[in-house]
Amino acid sequence: MLRIIIIAGCIFVSVLSCKKYNDLESQNEFKDTCTIYGRLFLLDTLTQRTFYLPQAKKKILIVPIDATNEVNYLFSSTTDDNGYFTFKNLTKGSTCRLVYEENISGKLYRADTTVVAPFTGFQLLLKPSLTRQTGIYVTVLNGINEVVPKATVCLFTNEQAFLSGKCDNSNYTMTADAYGQAFQFGISKGRYFVLASATIGNVTYSAKDTIDVSTKVEVVSIRLSTSPPVTTGLQYTVLDTDGFPVNDARVCLYLNPALYNNGNCQGSNYSDSTNSLGIVSFTGIEPQTYYSRGEFVVGNRTYSAVDTITVVTGSFAKDTLRLQ
C-alpha cells in the first residue's frame, strides 16, 4: 500500500552513542530530540525465495556500539502488528545500534545495524547470521559474472559421491533464488564438496568446488564452466511516491503506443505483477521498443506511471516506474 510518512527531523551530527535527551539534560546539551521510525522485515531464505515479511511483536534493542552481547541494552521497542517500531526522544545526531535476533526452524536470523538519529522509514532486515552459526552461502555465476537463477547446488561430505557428477547421493540439495543465491545453515563442521549446475535449453552447465566449514557461514561464489546464453528481457522496479517498493503493482507492456496511456492495462501484449521487492521481470520477449504502464489501485484511486523502453537482443534492460 502506498504510504506517506512525515515525522519532524533534525540534522545535527554528533559522535555520541545513542542516548535519550533527559540523560544529557544536566549537561545542557542538545536541546531538541529525535525519533527513529522504521519497520522490521524477515528476509525469507528458508523456502529459497527472496521475500520480505514484516515481523510483528518483536522486541528490538538499542545496544552500546561496542557491545559484544545484548544483555545490557539501552532501550527497547516492540514492533506493532505490521512490523513498525519507534524509538523516541533520542539525541540529535547520535549513532544508534539496533539489534534483533531469533532462531527460526533451527536457523539463526539476526538484524544488527547502526543508524544515526533521526531516521524515518528505516528498514531493519532480519537475515541469516553469517558469524554465529555454521553454513554455506553460495552465489552461482555464469562466465561473464551474471547470476544464474534456479541453478541447482548440491553439497556432499563423501568425495566419491561428489565425483559422480550427480546430486543423487548429496547431503543437501538447494535451488538458487532469483539472485543466484543458495543457502544451507546449521550444518556440521568439516569439508564439503559443491556441485552447481544449470540447464539452458538442451545444454547443462556445471562447476565444482571444495569448501571447509569451521565456525561460521562460508560465503563463496561458484562460476559455471560455460556461460549460459544471456536472456533477452526487461525488468522494472515499481516505487510509490515516497520511494518504497510496491508489492503486487501491475506492469503492462504494449507494442502499440496508442494504447499504453489509455488509463488501464487493456490491450497490453504482456502483463505481470511485482513481487515484495517491487520487481517484475519479462524474459524471452522480442527485442524491440515497448511502451510500459505501471499501476496500483488503493480504494477508488489508481496510482500510475508510464515509460518507454527498448530491449536489445542478448540484453536485459532495467528501469524504474515511480507511481504518482
23-40 tens-digit pLDDT: 444 444 444 578 999 999
Answer with the residue of higher pLDDT: 291 or 164: 291
- Condensed to tens digits (0 to 9), the pLDDT of residues 43-74 reads 765 444 445 789 999 999 999 999 888 999 99
Architecture of the CATH domain 233-322: Sandwich (2.60)
Question: Average of pLDDT values for 231-245?
Answer: 86
Query: Across 188-192, 238-242, 256-260, which has the greatest mean pLDDT?
Result: 188-192
pLDDT (0 to 100) of residue 50:
46
User: Alpha-carbon distance 72 to 7, whole Å?
Assistant: 29
Is residue 239 very low, low, confident or very high in pLDDT (cuts 50, 70, 90)? very high
* pLDDT beyond 60 at 14: no
3-state secondary structure of 160: helix
State the amino acid at position 173 in one-letter form.
Answer: T
* pLDDT beyond 50 at 151: yes
Question: Average of pLDDT values for 143-152?
Answer: 86
Query: Counting runs of H as helices and runs of E as strands, what totals does the chain give?
Result: 2, 22
- Condensed to tens digits (0 to 9), the pLDDT of residues 200-212 reads 777 788 899 999 9
CATH number belonging to the domain at 21-128, selected among 3.40.50.261, 3.30.420.40, 3.10.110.10, 2.60.40.10: 2.60.40.10
Q: Calculate ∠ Cα 13-41-138, nearest 5°.
A: 100
Q: Determine contact, residues 29/78, Cβ cutoff 8 Å.
A: no
In this structure, the number of other CB atoms found within 10 A of the CB of residue 68 comes to 7
Residues of the chain with CATH 2.60.40.1120: 233-322
Q: What is the average pLDDT score of the chain?
A: 83
The set of cell numbers assigned to 250 is 501491475
* pLDDT beyond 70 at 16: no
Question: Average of pLDDT values for 100-118?
Answer: 90
pLDDT (0 to 100) of residue 69:
87
pLDDT (0 to 100) of residue 160:
87
Q: Determine contact, residues 254/262, Cβ cutoff 8 Å.
A: no
pLDDT (0 to 100) of residue 26:
43
pLDDT (0 to 100) of residue 241:
84
Fold of 135-223: Immunoglobulin-like (2.60.40)
pLDDT (0 to 100) of residue 238:
93
Taking CA atoms, 82 is separated from 33, 57, 199, in Å, by 25, 9, 40
pLDDT (0 to 100) of residue 32:
53
Buried/exposed code over 97-122 (b: 16+ C-beta within 10 A; e: otherwise) = bbbbeeeeeebbbbbbeebbbbbbeb
pLDDT (0 to 100) of residue 30:
42
Q: Determine contact, residues 294/247, Cβ cutoff 8 Å.
A: no
- Condensed to tens digits (0 to 9), the pLDDT of residues 259-277 reads 877 777 888 899 999 988 8
Burial tier of 309 (Cβ tally within 10 Å: 0-12, 13-18, 19+): middle
Question: Average of pLDDT values for 287-305?
Answer: 89
pLDDT (0 to 100) of residue 300:
84
Residues of the chain with CATH 2.60.40.10: 21-128, 135-223
Q: Determine contact, residues 291/308, Cβ cutoff 8 Å.
A: yes
DSSP string, 44-82: --TTS---EEE--S-EEEEE-TT-SSSTT-SEEEE--TT
- Condensed to tens digits (0 to 9), the pLDDT of residues 79-100 reads 999 999 999 999 989 999 999 9
Q: Which DSSP helix (H) or strand (E) runs through 22? A: helix 21-24
User: Alpha-carbon distance 239 to 2, whole Å?
Assistant: 9
Among candidates 158, 122, 167, which has minimal Cα distance to 9? 122
